[in-house]
Amino acid sequence: MAIVKKTKITIDVNLDENNIPEQMQWTAPDGGIKDMDTKAMLLSFWDAKQQETLKMDLWIKDMPMDQMRLFFHQTLMSLSDTYYSATQDEKMTETMRDFCDFFAEKLELKKG
């Protein structure tokens, strides 16, 4: 199979003297994104040989706690959708969404 196209996504992280992220930006030219500021990122890679997930989780030191809670809730919701797209497993997807609702309720993220 011939590679038709190659693309690149870059993440720039500015660290303080203790190697704690102070500022992050990412660029994805194919998505029209250039030097977009972000306060947090979660990135996972699958190592098929070792059968394990490799992770990179970063957030800047002044990320507000309320934003971190929303970030995690929205990430969990997105993972539920991604899990369904990858597996078509409706039962487990619904279980994951139920947990997301529970998570939001416990953190008082739901309004109304």
- pLDDT, tens digit, 9 for 90 and up, residues 48-75: 999 999 999 999 999 999 999 999 999 9
Is the pTM here over 0.85, yes or no?
yes
Question: What CA–CA distance (Å, rounded) separates 108 from 19?
Answer: 33
- In the DSSP assignment, the letter for residue 30 is G
Give 20-51 pLDDT, tens digit per residue: 999 999 999 999 999 999 999 999 999 999 99
- Can you give the pLDDT at residue 1? 81
